[in-house]
A and B are shown apart, each in its own frame.
Chain A
Amino acid sequence: MAALEHSAGLPAGAEPAVAPLPRLIRDIPPAAWLVAVVLLVLPAFSNSFVEAQILGWSFILGMIALSLMFLAGYGGMVSLVQMSVAGLAGYMVAILGQSSIPTISLDWPWWLVVPVAVVIAVVFGTVSGLLAVRTAGIYTIMITLAIASAFFYFTRQNYVIFNGFAGFNALPAPQFWGVDWRHPVAFYYLTLFWATLSYGAVLYVERTPFGLALQGIRDNPRRMAALGFNVNLHRVAAYAFAAVIAAVAGILLVWLNGQVSPGTAGIGPVIDILVIAVIGGLRHPIGPFVGALIFVVLRTFALDLLTSVGLAGERFNLLVGLGFLAIVFFSPDGIVGLWQRWRRSHADSQARQSAASHPGGP
C-alpha cells in the first residue's frame, strides 16, 4: 500500500504559516506522512529504472487518469477524451519546440512552449466538453470515444502539422536552473511535484463551491438547474479544469518518452486510462494513482509473471482485461473501494470486540 496515500502528503512542503493550513495538516493521517517521506527520499535507494520507467510513468498516467476521475467521480461524466488532450499537449511541445522534423517545429524556447501547449490542449478539451455535455451518461462515453478516435485518425493522416504516421522524435526535455530534467532523479521529482500538485488541486476543488455544485449536478441535474445553477456551464468548466491536468501530464509524457506519435493517444491508450481509473477507483483522487502504479508494474513485469506460470508473455492484455472485469464485477469502487471497505469492516469488528469486553459500556 505504499502508493495508496503517497500524494496525500501534498502539504508536506507547504508553509504552515498560512492560517487554514494547520487544521489541514492535522487532518492528514500519519500513514500519509510516511508515504510522503518515503517518496521524497526514495531516489536515494532506488535505481533510475524504477524512478523514471515505473514511478515517473505511474505519476503521468495517474494524472491523466485523475483528470478522468475528476470528471467521472465528481461530474458523473466518463470522458475518454483525456488521453487525446494529453496527446495534443505533447504534440504541441513537439510542434512549437524542437524535434527531429525541423520543417515543422518552430523551435520556440521551452518557457513559451509549455504555456501555449497547455492553453491549446485546454481549448481542445473544453471544446470536446462543449460537444459532450450535449449528451449524458453512457452517451458521453460514446461521444468522447468518437472524438478521441477522430483525433487519432486525424493525427495519423495529417502530414502538414502532425507529421502523420511517424510523429515526432528526438524531443529534448528542457534544461534550466542548471538541471537536466531528462535525468531520472530530476524527472522523478518533477513528476512527483506535478502529480502532488494536481492531486491537491482536485482535493481543493472538491470542497470549493464549484466542486460542490458539480457534485450536486452529478446527483440531480434537474434540481440544480431549478436552483438556478447553469448545469452545462459547470460541466464545461469541469472539462476545462480536467484538461489542464491532462495537458500538463501530456507534456511530461513527451519529455519522458522523447517522442510523440498517433499511437500515443491511440484507441489502446485511451481505453488504458479508463482501465487505470476504474481499477484504482473513481471515488477518491488517490484511486487513479494506485491504478496507474498497478498498471505500470503489471505491464513491466507481466512478461516474467506470465512465463513463470507457463503462459506466453504477450498475454498482458488478457491479464489486464480479466483484472479489469474482476474489479468491475466485485468492487465497482476499485482497489481503493476494496481497501476502504476492508478498513471499515476491520474497524467494525474491533468496535464489536471492545464492546464485548466492556458489556456495561454505552
Chain B
Amino acid sequence: MLFERRPLISLLILVAAIVCLWLLLAAWPAELEAVIGRKRVFMNALFNGITLGGLYFLVASGFTLIFGLMRNVNLAHGSLYLFGGYVGYTIGVATGSWLLSFLGAFVAMALLGVILQLVVFRRMEGEELRQTLVTIGISIVLADILLWMWGGDFYQIQTPDWLFGATTLPFVLAAKSNGEAVYMTYPMVRIAILAGAIVIGVVMWLALNRTRIGMMIRAGVDDRDMLSATGIRIQIVFVAVFALGAGLAGIAGVVGGTFQSLAPGEDTRFLLASLVVVIVGGMGSIPGAALGALLIGLSEQFGSVYMPTYAVVLTFLIMVLVLAFRPQGLLGAR
C-alpha cells in the first residue's frame, strides 16, 4: 500500500485531508477570513463551481464521446444543448412535469442526432475537416431556426415543488454571538442536479468499462478499422453513440434552463465551455471531461467572486497551461 511504501507522503496527504475537512466543516478563525474573505462567500463559490462543473460535464461528456469515437468535432453541440432546453421548456409548460421534460429533451435530441449521423455525417466519414465545417453550418441554421421558433426572450424552466427551497448542509459558516453555529443552506435543486450529473457520469463510466457495448466503443476509440474488421457493425455503434451524446446535450439543456436560463447565445457559450473542458480534460476521455468540467466550473465561479474582471482569463489561462505542458489534455491519451 501507499502508506508502507511512502509513509511520509501519505502522512502529509492525511494531514492535508484532515485540514481540508476541518476547513469545510468548522467556522473559520478570524485571521483566515481576513486573508481569504468570508467563509459564506467561499463556500457558495465552491458549491456553485461544483454544480456548474456538473452541468459542464453533462454537455461536454456527449461532445467528447462523439469526438473520441467518430473523430467528429461536433460544433453544433451547443445548438443541441439549447434546442434540448427549449424542447424541455415547452414540454414542461404543456405537461407541468419536470421529469417529462428531461425525457422529451433526451428523446428529441437523440432522434436529431440519429438523423444527423445517418443523413449527414455518414456520407463524409473520414473527412474530418469537412464534417467540422458541416457542423458549423448546422449550428448557424439551427440557431436561426431556434430564434425563429422561440424568439429572443429568456426562458426559465420551473423547478418542481418537491425540489423547491433550500436545504441545510452540515458545514458551519460562522458562529453567532451567542455561540450558536450558522449552517450553510443551499438550493435543493442544485444539489439534485449535481447528484444527477454524478449518477450519469458513474453510469456512463460503468457502461463504458463493464458492458459489451462499452467495450466496443472503447475499442472503436482506439482503432475503428480493427473493430469493424472483427465483424462488429460499427455504423450501428456510431448511431448509438451519436444519439447518446446528443441526448445528453438535450438533458443538459433542461438542467441549464432550470438553474440558469435559455436564450439565444447560450448555444455558443456552452459550445465554448465544452471545447475548453475537453481541451483541458483530454479529447475522448470521460474521466477527463469530468475533471476538466470540475476545474473550469470552479475556476469560473472562484474567478467571478475573487477577480470579477479576469474570470474569463483565468479559464483561458488554465487552457493555455494545459496546452503548453500537456497538449493531449490532463487525462488524454496520446
With A157-B309, A320-B140 in contact, is A138–B71 under 8 Å at CB? yes
Closest Cβ–Cβ distance, residue A25 to chain B (whole Å): 36
Determine whether the beta carbon of A137 is less than 8 Å from that of B128: yes
Scan residues 272-301 of chain B and give those whose CB is less than 8 A from a CB of chain A.
272, 275-276, 278-279, 283
Contact B312 A315 (CB under 8 A): no
Q: How far is the CA of A5 from the CA of B136 in the complex (A)?
A: 28
Q: Which of A143, A271, A315, A322 contacts B136 (CB 8 A)?
A: A271
Given contacts A134-B327, A146-B279, A328-B137, A78 and B129 within 8 Å (CB-CB): yes
Closest partner residue, chain B, to A322 (CB atom): B141
Docked complex: B201-221 residues within 8 A CB-CB of A: none
Which residue of the partner chain, among B75, B144, B320, contacts A315 with CB atoms under 8 Å? B144
Asked whether B323 lies within 8 Å of A131 as measured between CB atoms, the reply is yes
Is residue A242 within 8 Å, beta carbon to beta carbon, of the partner chain? no
A321–B139 CA distance with the chains assembled, in angstroms: 8
Cα distance A147–B316 when bound, in Å?
8
- Residue B174 at the A interface, CB < 8 A? no
A146 touches B272 (CB 8 A): yes
B137: contacting residue among A135, A141, A321, CB under 8 A = A321
Residues facing A in B117-157 (CB within 8 A) are 128-130, 132-134, 136-138, 140-141, 143-145, 148
Interface segment, A54-62, A148-156, A176-184, A247-255?
Answer: A148-156
A192 at the interface (CB under 8 A from B): no
| Given A141-B73, A146-B275, A321-B144: A332 touches B130 (CB 8 Å cut-off) | yes
Q: Whose C-beta in chain B lies nearest to the C-beta of A328?
A: B133
Nearest CB on B from A68, distance (A): 12
A278-B133, A324-B137 as given contacts; A149 in contact with B272, CB under 8 Å? yes
Residues in chain A near residue B189, CB distance under 8 A = none
A157 touches B141 (CB 8 A): no
Let me know if B324 is at the binding interface, CB within 8 A: yes
Interface membership of B226, Cβ < 8 A: no
* Complex CA distance for A357 and B283, rounded to whole angstroms: 61
Chain B residue nearest in CB terms to A76: B129
B19 proximal to A (CB < 8 A): no
- Give bound CA distance, A149 to B312, whole Å: 9
A267, B272: Cα distance in complex, Å = 10
Q: What chain A residues lie within 8 Å of B141 (beta carbons)?
A: 317-318, 321-322, 325
Chain B 292-334 per-residue mask, 1 if CB under 8 angstroms from chain A, else 0 = 0000000000000000111111011001100110010000000
Chain B residues near A149 (CB-CB < 8 A): 268, 272
The complex places the Cα of A329 from the Cα of B131 at a distance, in Å, of: 10
Q: Can you show 13 pairs from A to B with CB atoms below 8 A apart?
A: A131-B323, A138-B128, A138-B132, A146-B275, A149-B272, A150-B316, A271-B136, A324-B136, A324-B140, A325-B137, A328-B130, A328-B137, A332-B130
Q: List the interface of chain A (C-beta within 8 A of B).
A: 78, 131, 134-135, 137-139, 141-143, 145-147, 149-150, 153-154, 157-160, 267, 271, 274-275, 278, 312, 315, 317-318, 320-322, 324-325, 328-329, 332
New contact pairs (4) apart from A154-B313, A317-B140, CB-CB < 8 Å = A131-B323, A134-B327, A154-B312, A275-B136
Sorted from nearest, which 5 A-B pairs have the closest CB atoms?
A: A321-B140, A321-B141, A325-B137, A150-B316, A153-B312
